[in-house]
Each structure stands twice: as C-alpha cells, then as structure tokens.
Structure 1
Amino acid sequence: MFISTKISLAALMLIGGAVETGICQTTATKRDPANPKPLVTDIYTADPSAHVFNGKIYIYPSHDIEANVPQDDEGGHFNMRDYHVFSMDNINGKVTDHGVALDVKDVPWAGRQMWAPDAAYKNGTYYLYFPVKDKEDIFRIGVATSKSPTGPFKAEPAPIPGSYSIDPAVFTDTDGKTYMYFGGIWGGQLQRWHTGKYDKSSNTDLKKDNEPALSAKVVRMSKDMLTFDEPVKDVTIVDKDGKPLLGGDHDRRFFEGAWMHKYKDKYYFSYSTGDTHFLAYATSNSPYGPFTYQGTFMKPVTGWTTHHSIIELNGKWYIFYHDVELTGQTHLRNIKVRELKRKADGSIELITP
C-alpha cells in the first residue's frame, strides 16, 4: 500500500535528525521471502550495492531525497547529496544505519547528483566509488577511502582519471585482480562518450537500433585501487549465435546498473535494461567477456528504475534491489532483499517482484 509523499516526509522530519547524526537501528524481523518489505523506512534508499565484509553484510545505497527539482529525461529530479552505509549481521537481522558516510560538500570537485555507489576492500582499506557530476555537469567517478566499512570516507581531490558516466560496480576476482564495470545511457551520459570524448549533443545510441548496442565498460583497477590500470574496454554482450545485441533490442541490451559476480568459475554480468525495466544477465569465461546473453532473471519492479546487487552468504545467494512501495514515486525509493535461486545448470531462476 502506497503512502503519500507528504505523509512520508512528515515522518522523516520527526526522526531524520537522529538518523543523520548517529547510528539508527531497526528491529530484527523474520522477512517473508515471497513478499519482502523495505529494509529501511525512515529515509529513502535505492541502488543498493551489498557486500559481505568479515562475515557481515554492508549495504551502500543511494540516498533519495525530495529535492523539488522538476522531472526530466536526464534524471534531474534524482538530486541526491550524500551516502549512508547500512549493516546487517544476517539476512533477517536488524538494519543499522551508520549515518552519513560521504557528503557532496566534502568532495572538492563535485557539483551535484550523487548517484549509485559501490564499495570494495583491499590493502586494509575500504574504498567507496561514486558517480557525481563535476562543476561542468559531467558525470565522473570518484573514490573515497576509510579504515572502516561504515566510513566516514575521505574523497580523493579529483575524480579517477579517464572515468565517466555512472553506476560503478567493483569486482575482485579470486586471483586478487579488481575490475570496475560502469556506464548508463540517457541521464547517465554514456551515449555522449561514443567517440572517446564528451559530446553534449550526442544521442547516438538512441537512434541506431540496427547497430550493436552501446556497451557497458570494464577496466582493471590499479593496485592502490585509486586509478585505472589500463585503457577502458567495452563489455560486449552477444546472443547464443555470437552476434552482438542491437541497440533496438530493448528487452535484452544493456542500459545501466551493471553488477558482476562469479559462480563456479563462470562470470555473471547482470544489468538493467532500463526503459523496459528488466534485470538480465549474460555469462563468460573471462571478466572481460564477451558475455553470452542468458535471459531475464527479474521482472519489472514498481517504479521506473531497476538497480541491484548480488551476494553469497552462508551458501545462499541474495539479490538486493529497490522499488517504490513507500511512496509510489520514482525518485523516492526503498531497498529490499530476497533470495536468488539457481537451477542445477547454474542458470538463475526468474523472480516476479
């Protein structure tokens, strides 16, 4: 059942101060796997990147707010300004809000719109990767560091050289090498980089339905996790015949929200189809691909956007995602979790949210 934004925001005014300034905990409840409820209800959260660090679940989502910005095709109304980190001891445990981990005002090069982040751990340090528009309104990807998984995080003085677009997803392979997958079209600006340089007027990917679809990007990270260690590469997705998915194939081609996980030596690249609202996946024997399209594994949620992450915990797999149950409004979302099940051949079972 949806509640009005006005009521929801009034509730936030009563409790928001405590959340912003300290740790807030929700009560542990047994969650219905067939009807997951929002993990967080006192602030709006979306795009959850979940990780298991030292046996505990940490969630790095976007923090939706009512910014009173008119809605447009480039997502101007998604005008988020900071990140909170949440933790859970187990999948049914209480959710702890550790307060603001990074604020846009503390990123020297940032302008506006702190969109979907991700996190990683290496070298005794936790890394928070985040897309935000710079002073020229171009999305870049920044990195901030902390000795704690909950922050606070200190941002580097400049964005990662050579970074652009949105939705960084960082994956560390079993050999210790770390890769970043990123990109998103339309408001994510990926289509403006098709020549290798930023072109504000370019909408190339939106007009070439019979050409290979615009690709997500992948790049190996440097040992210090602060820069790229090589040129950025395309993430090519092909059909079962080895032919690249086309731009007009809106039910299957990449749009945004990349995630990588590994299962039995196979690389699973999952993503959102964007304007058709599916979560889909493709597999490969290499973290670089090419990836062979396997199918849809989640039908559309309520709300325009779909963005997820996948983790393994105690032998089971889980998907974290969002919808708009609390408000019914696309820019005021709430994160959820449910079990992700596989068939004997490793394929992912279809979820109907």
Structure 2
Amino acid sequence: MKNKRLFLLSAFLVIIGTLQAQNPIIKDQFTADPTAKVFEGKMFVYPSHDIPSPIDRLKEWFCMADYHVFSSENLVDWTDHGVILSQENVPWVAPDSYSMWAPECVYKNGKYYFYFPSTPKGEGKRGFSIGVAIADKPYGPFTPQANPIEGVNGIDPCVLIDKDGQAYIYWSGRGMSVAKLKENMLELDSEPIKIEGLPEGFKEGPFAFERNGKYYFTFPWVKEKTETLAYAMGDSPMGPFEFKGIIMDESPTGCWTNHHSLVKYKDQWYLFYHHNDYSPEFDKNRSTRIDSLFFNPDGTIQKVTPTLRGVGITDARKEIQLDRYSRLSNRGAAIDYLNLTNKFEGWKTILSKNGAWIQYNRVDFGNSAPRKVKARVSSEDGGILQIRINGTDGPVISEIKVPKSDKWTEIESPVRSGQSGIHDLYVSLKGNGKVETDWITFQ
C-alpha cells in the first residue's frame, strides 16, 4: 500500500508539473511515434509510450502498455496530462499484449477521437486491429469503444478531415491503405484501397495532411538500412500520389525506426519525430523531438536536419541546458551523460581546451537585465568559463571561476553589462583545465 501511495503521488506531481526540454522534448519517460495536433490554441502531442518489458517475449522488442498526452503553448514547457488510455481498460485488447503502438487524435463534431492499434484478445486472433476512444477534451478522459473498427487490420492509424468535413483513415499493414470514415468516425464508409506510386522498400507510419489544395502523404521508408522520412503529393486525399523525396535522412547514430507528424502552429510548420537519445544501446526505447520545417515555393518540402537545440525560445531565468547546443567547437568540446545508470538525468557539457566553446541560440533575457549568472559545474583542475553573447567575438558579459572539485557545485558570478531581449549565448573555456557544466541560469 505504501508503494502504491508513493506511485500515485509521483504520478500526480508529474501531471501538475511542466517538463522543460529542447530535444528530446519529454525528459522523464520514453515517448515515440509522436502525433502532434493543435487543439484549444495549444500544441498537443499524442505519442506511444515505450517501457522496459515486464515479460520475457518482449525484452528485445517494442513494449507499450498505455498512452500519455502532453501539451504546450511555447513548445518548450510541456505538461504531462497523465495516462489517457491503457491496455487494461480497452474491452477488445489483450490485456497483456503490450502493443499499444503509434496513435492518432482528431477533433470533429465537438468530440476528440483517439485512434490506436493493438492486439485483439481471443483465441485465433492475430495481427493488429485499430480502435477508437472518445473524449470531450483533448486530454481526456477518453472512453474506448467496445470493438475495433471493422475492416481495418493494421497499425499506425492517421485520420485526415478534409475541408468538406469528410474524414479519411490511413493505416499500414501489408502495404498502406486508405478508406473513408462515416460521419460517426467509428466505421468505414468505403472499401479500403492501397496507396500506390510509392518507392520500393519497407514503409509504415503514414501521416497525411492538406496544404494549399495539395495533399501530402508522408511515411517512414527504409531506403537502405534504416528508416528515412519520405513523402508523396497528390490532388485527392485518396491519391494517386506522386513520390517527391526525403524529409529526413537516416539517423547516423543507430535508431532503426523513425515516426513523425507535421503540423502548423502560430504560422510556423514543425516536424515531430523520434530518436533513441536516452537509450543509445537499445533503439526500441525512443524519445520525441521537434524541429522547424519549411516548404519550397512549389509546395515541396525542404529536407530537415535534426538538431539537439530543437525549437522555441529559452527563458534566461530558467536552467539553460547547454548540452542541447546549436553549435559546438571542433576541438575540446564534448557532450556526455550525467549518469550512465540513469540517462533521464540528462547530459553535461565538457570543455577541455583553451578557447573551446559551445553556442546556444535564442535565449530571452526579457525586459529587465539580469545581475548575476549561476552555473552547476564540476572541475578536478579548476578553470574559467567565459560567457559571451552574439558571437565568439561578442562582448563578454560574465566570467565564472570554477574551483577545483570532484563534486557538482553551484557557482554565482556577476553579469557585467545589462542585457535584455533575445540573444545567442557562447560559453567558452578560458585558459587551461577541464570544466563540466550541467546548466546555467541568469538571475
């Protein structure tokens, strides 16, 4: 009973708090396959939830028991609204299948419809079905339907609601398919058809959207060894689609999967995707990222290069995680985990050569200039961190003298000249030594 109370208290604190992040955006749990939607003027993200498997047959595979939903107004601070659906409370799902894979959520007729794949219960049941849960709010509570959608067998549902109100559902499984949905959003209103005209190779995770009268059909695609993100375009929600190219290249650091969504928020388009940042040794535990996305004048998509800095503007008075850098000097600068036994504690910056630097863009000092800077640092040799703004040759606004210590220490230093507005930060090592930094903040 005591452990249960502690678990509930921990869950409550997560739900009412906010999660500050760059990339990955959620720092306290694994979140894969992110579907991002704008509801009630906020960004909502509906990911799947990778967990360490409690059963032997999934120890080396994907294991997902439930879904959380997260929201943000600035794409920096994320609120976890807690579990919105789990395998135990869906009537048709095998309760020990751990197969609550990539979901979708849309709004129509005053209701939010949450679509999800899973393994159905019962002898002789094989493969995946796709079910629906309904809520009055984007964060729930969601009530699952008693049965999955008849005629849909597969994974990775995506629903597009066209300008005329007609809804279409896409899914993958033995290729990729699309069908119309009835007005109730719970039944098919047409026979499924296969999506044609796509390149050879394994494909999954369809995400469709409309922009300027064109329909985009995007998908993870194994072009060579691991998944890229690719897309095709057409004049109708059901195709035909013409393949156009790659949105994001294969990961160079070993995550076999990628899964994504594209969304416009406050006049900017964003790509949500995942990577195994917190689990480099096991790519079945993934984490959600965001980067900005742009279109060419002809409507084609510019390729997105993944970043650690991500999107959004960082408040100078919050902890600035320099390890989520914009740029890093070629020599004497590195990033490592704070704690190899618990990677959710995040990363640290290591500067080990005179002049080595790290750049962190878009820090908002607000209207009132800070008077001091605080840093959580460690250095066995001691050293000096120099903080500049707006370039490696920009004005020095503070120097932090780091004492010799093999433990983490919080050091304060005055800020020399008053700064306001948004600036890029450059933190460098002055002189010899080696300094590790967890975070800095201005006060």
Q: TM-score range by the shorter chain?
A: 0.7 to 0.9
For normalisation by structure 2, the TM-score amounts to 0.62
Instruction: Choose from 294, 297, 320 the match for 2:247.
Output: 297
The residue that corresponds to 1:182 in the other structure is 171
- Residue type of the alignment partner of 1:81: A
Offset of 1:27 from its aligned partner? 4.8
1:282-313 CA distances to partner (integer Å, 9 max, x unpaired)? Answer: 00001111100000110123411110000011
Q: What is the CA distance between 1:41 and its match in structure 2?
A: 1.3
C-alpha RMSD over aligned residues: 2.1
Contact 2:19 2:26 in 1 (8 A): no
Q: 2:72 aligns with which of 52, 77, 88?
A: 88
Q: TM-score scaled to structure 1, two decimals?
A: 0.77
Structure 2: distance between partners of 1:64 and 1:20? 20
Q: Which residue does the alignment assign to 2:205?
A: 257
- 1:256 deviates by 0.4
Report the Cα offset of residue 26 of structure 1. 2.9
Superimposed CA distance per residue, residues 101-152 of structure 1 (whole angstroms, 9 cap, x where no aligned partner)? 0011101110121100000111111111000001224200000101110012
Of residues 2, 5, 17, the one that matches 1:25 is 17
SS at match of 1:105: helix
**Post-superposition shift, 1:90?**
2.6
Aligned counterparts of 1:57 and 1:179: Cα–Cα separation in 2: 22
Q: Deviations over 1:82-101 (max 9, x none)?
A: 00011111333x10000010
Of residues 248, 273, 276, the one that matches 2:226 is: 276
- 1:341 aligned partner, one-letter code: F
Instruction: Describe the shift of the 1:133–1:61 C-alpha distance in structure 2 as closer, same or farther (beyond 3 A).
Output: same
Contact conserved, 1:68 with 1:77, CA < 8 A, in 2?
Answer: no
Provide Cα deviations, 1:29-70, integer angstroms capped at 9, x if missing partner: 6x4xxxxx1111111110000100121111110011000556
Kindly report which structure 2 residues correspond to 1:268-347, keeping only aligned pairs within 5 A, or say none.
Answer: 268-274=216-222, 276-301=226-251, 302-328=254-280, 329-347=282-300
Q: More strand per residue: 1 or 2?
A: 2
Partner amino acid, structure 2, of 1:352? T
User: 1:141 and 1:76 mapped to 2: Cα distance?
Assistant: 24
Q: Equivalent residue of 2:185, what SS?
A: coil
On the 8 A contact 2:69/2:80 being kept in 1, the answer is yes
Which 4+ stretches in 1 moved above 6 angstroms? Answer: none
Higher relative contact order (CA 8 A, sep 6+): 1
In 2: Cα distance, 1:90 partner to 1:280 partner:
27
Q: Which residue of 2 aligns with 1:171?
A: 160
* Contact 1:221-1:229 within 8 A present in 2 as well: yes
Unmatched 5+ stretches in structure 1: 1-13, 32-36, 184-189, 192-214, 239-244
Aligned to 2:127: 138
SS at match of 1:19: helix
**In 2, are the aligned partners of 1:180 and 1:221 still within 8 Å (CA)?**
yes
Counterpart in the other structure of 1:202: none
> In the alignment, which residue of structure 1 is the partner of 2:109?
123
| Paired position in structure 2 for 1:156 | 145
Please, which of 6, 17, 25 is the counterpart of residue 39 of structure 1? 25
The unaligned stretches of length 5 or more in structure 2 are: 1-5, 307-443
Measure, in 2, the Cα distance between the counterparts of 1:334 and 1:15. Answer: 22
Moved more, 300-309 or 115-124: 300-309
Contact 1:266 1:284 in 2 (8 A): yes
Q: Quick check: 1:21–1:99 contact (8 Å CA) kept in 2?
A: no
Counterpart position of 1:267: 215
- 2:235 partner letter: N
Residue 233 of structure 1: aligned partner: 193
| In 2, Cα distance between equivalents of 1:15 and 1:39 | 23
